[in-house]
Amino acid sequence: MSINMTAPSGRAYLAIPGPSVIPDAVLQAMHRAAPNIYDGELVEMMPALVADLKYVARTDHQVAIYIGNGHAAWEAALANTVTPGDRVLVPATGRFAHGWADMAEGVGATAEILDFGKQSPWDMERVAAALRADTGHRIKAVLAVHVDTSTSILNDVPAMRALLDELGHPALLMADCIASLGCDRFEMDRWGVDVMVTGCQKGLMVPPGVAFVYFNDRAEAVRQSLPRVSRYWDWAPRAKPDLFFHYFGGTAPTHHLYGLRTALDMIKAEGIEAIWARHDRLARAIWAACDSWAAEGPLRLNVADPAHRSRAVTSLSLDPPQGTALREWVEGHLGLTLGIGLGMAEPGDYASHGHFRFGHMGHVNGQMIMGLLGGVEAGLTALEIPHGHGALEAAAAVLADMHP
Ligand SMILES: *Cc1c(COP(=O)(O)O)cnc(C)c1O
């Protein structure tokens, strides 16, 4: 009775936490001949593009654009703020914090990792103890992952700012918003974030390839105090270019810029507050369904407290190897691709066959989320994985309240 996906019909849904679903309008904007990179439309569209990038991050400060992925943004942020021998403090709530810490080691810094496991947000008491112990202020930056995409934990960035201020610690607050930007509320200036890194392929709905580093005056002062900054990663010419090619340290990512222009038009038309509200409602529908499934059987949301859950991604578990079996079933039978359980493996589950994730960032709406949940319900049923009933009704009830 299986549906033959070797000759699929209908639209597939890639519900992984990045790259996210690309709007047709973005794809169409990119499908065009190569533009002139010396003058004309592409050159002229940059000031408004930069202004709109600041709108999404809620900042009046500066932004540098890099051709690269999220890892490039990590490296760029570090290249402008730390120098060999410096220390950085990394509160870790999943795989991505460890990744950024490793990158810091790569540029010669020492990363002091505070590991809070895979199911809890930052413990501010432990962060405070580490900062207090740093009487000589050798810690130059706190690398703060807002949403760790592996665990789907949402961390409290304003609380980190408050703590640094309370202790009078001068470390830069650097936030990784690669998963969260354009999904979970983030306000760079109001929250007192000094540096923020993000990429284009998650909440910004553009194919992977462009990354951004936002920075304020405090961060710029730190850059100016460094003995040297690698020419390619230096954010100064990119943020304040004399010539068009300075924005990108070379040839522009021409087609990505057209895609990004269209994505930002969509974001501005909806409004960032409305986008946060949409992701909140859709995430609550997902959580309601998961709570119903979890009432009987092994399915669990990774993060117990809704206050610490992201609205961009949801990490879940089943008894291994059922997580993998479920992913394979919904992909093969329904055209629905779920995310793998990244960095969640536990002893006895080395390949993370018990974990999986839903990506719900960017270009998502109610019918897609109901399709996702209906597909998972079908998978649980087909694989005879015990689960509580009423999941779709619970999600529908959340969406039925949807009108503002
Ligand atoms: C996706 C992601 C990254 C890595 O981005 P790449 O584009 O894969 O380099 C880093 N941090 C977070 C929080 C992410 O979600």
pLDDT of the chain, 404 residues: tens digit per residue? 455 555 568 999 999 999 999 999 999 999 999 999 999 999 999 999 999 999 999 999 999 999 999 999 999 999 999 999 999 999 999 999 999 999 999 999 999 999 999 999 999 999 999 999 999 999 999 999 999 999 999 999 999 999 999 999 999 999 999 999 999 999 999 999 999 999 999 999 999 999 999 999 999 999 999 999 999 999 999 999 999 999 999 999 999 999 999 999 999 999 999 999 999 999 999 999 999 999 999 999 999 999 999 999 999 999 999 999 999 999 999 999 999 998 888 777 777 899 999 999 999 999 999 999 999 999 999 999 999 999 999 999 999 986 54
Separation of CA 44 and ligand 1 centre (Å): 30
**pTM of the prediction?**
0.96
Cα 367–chain centre separation: 22
Q: Is any ligand 1 atom within 6 A of the Cβ of residue 178?
A: yes
Q: Is any ligand 1 atom within 6 A of the Cβ of residue 176?
A: yes
Supply 319's token pair. Answer: 């008894």
Ligand 1 mutation pick, 102, 149, 310, max ligand atoms within 8 A of CB: 149
d(C-alpha 113, C-alpha 101), whole Å: 7
Ligand 1 atom with minimal separation from the 177 CA: 13
Residue nearest to atom 10 of ligand 1 (CA): 70
Ligand 1 atom with minimal separation from the 211 CA: 7
Domains in the chain: ranges and CATH:
25-269 (3.40.640.10), 271-400 (3.90.1150.10)
Shortest CA distance to 340 belongs to which of 103, 2, 13, 18?
18
Separation of CA 248 and ligand 1 centre (Å): 20
d(C-alpha 140, C-alpha 145), whole Å: 16
Query: Mind giving me the DSSP string for 220-287?
Result: HHHHHHSS---TTT-HHHHHS-SSGGGGTTSS--HHHHHHHHHHHHHHHHH-HHHHHHHHHHHHHHHH
